[in-house]
């Protein structure tokens, strides 16, 4: 993979974030595009593979651990966790992404759902050890992001953890730097998180931000009242 790889991500006709049809179109080439972007060390997927490795480490996979993968996509990350004994539930609004995920995760619970509406009613009673949201939350506006994270925190077990990985920086200044560095590639329709902003939304929760590249990182969020 190199800078010669042609990114196949569809361009939405409007200035709205990409819808399920856009992701349906992208699903067959999505993994290849991600790998090419990571190989070039550029926005948006710079350090993607390192991030996946770190997420697997942070989950501490074990037999029967309950994982919810929000925006599961082709299921690459969850497959690694399933192979280590975890029980996977995945959400995604794209039929074709879910079809790809099904190939890797034949026994997982996969739910077609638009997470801009929060979490689906079918999992109301469930509590998870880890909830993952890998390169997916940027499709929501600020208030939808805040609502989704609030709901996710309610669906964690008391010792559970939310892991958000994405184009994300600690501060607005760092995000501006990344945007200037990759102005030719930057997707204005996407709404990337700033770790400092999420901290302000949930002052009671416990946060850790790990930077993986000039434009990407992992934010770990744990509920208040635990160490």
Ligand X SMILES: C[S@@+](CC[C@H](N)C(=O)[O-])C[C@H]1O[C@@H](n2cnc3c(N)ncnc32)[C@H](O)[C@@H]1O
Give the residues lining the site for ligand X (CB under 6 A): 23, 71-73, 76-77, 92-94, 97, 114-116, 134-136, 139
User: Least distance in Å: CB of 142 to ligand X?
Assistant: 14
Q: In angstroms, what is the minimal distance from the CB of 131 to ligand X?
A: 12
Nearer to ligand X, 40 or 114 (CB): 114
Which CB atom, from 14 or from 158, has the smaller least distance to ligand X?
Answer: 14
In angstroms, the CA 11 to CA 95 distance is 19
CA distances from 147 to 94, 114, 143, 158 (A): 21, 13, 6, 19
| Cβ 177 to ligand X shortest distance, Å | 22
For ligand X, which residue has the nearest CB?
73
Helices 20-39 and 48-59 pack at an angle, to 10 degrees, of: 100
- Tokens representing residue 143 in the block: 């208030």
Q: Which is nearer to ligand X, 123 or 206 (CB)?
A: 123
Which residue's CB is nearer to ligand X, number 136 or number 153? 136
Closest C-alpha to 37, from 23, 55, 51, 24:
51
Please, are residues 53 and 124 in contact by the beta-carbon 8 Å criterion? no
Give me the least distance between CB of 24 and ligand X, in Å please. 8
């Amino acid at each position: 993979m190199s800078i010669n790889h042609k990114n196949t991500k569809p361009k939405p006709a409007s200035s709205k974030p990409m819808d399920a049809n856009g992701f349906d179109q992208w699903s067959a080439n999505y993994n290849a595009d991600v790998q090419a972007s990571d190989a070039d060390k550029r926005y948006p997927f710079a350090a993607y593979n390192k991030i996946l490795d770190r997420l697997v480490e942070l989950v501490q996979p074990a037999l029967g651990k309950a994982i919810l993968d929000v925006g599961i996509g082709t299921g690459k990350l969850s497959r690694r966790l399933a192979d280590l004994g975890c029980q996977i539930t995945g959400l995604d609004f794209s039929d074709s992404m879910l079809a790809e995920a099904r190939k890797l995760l034949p026994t997982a619970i996969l739910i077609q759902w638009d997470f801009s509406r929060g979490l689906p009613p079918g999992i109301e009673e469930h509590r998870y050890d880890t909830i993952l949201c890998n390169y997916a939350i940027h499709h929501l506006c600020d208030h939808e992001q805040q609502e989704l994270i609030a709901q996710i925190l309610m669906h964690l077990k008391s010792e559970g953890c939310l892991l958000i990985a994405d184009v994300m920086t600690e501060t607005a200044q760092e995000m501006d730097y990344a945007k200037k560095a990759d102005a030719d590639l930057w997707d204005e329709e996407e709404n990337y998180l700033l770790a400092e902003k999420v901290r302000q939304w949930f002052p009671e929760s416990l946060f850790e931000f790990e930077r993986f590249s000039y434009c990407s990182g992992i934010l770990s969020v744990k509920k208040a009242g635990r160490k």
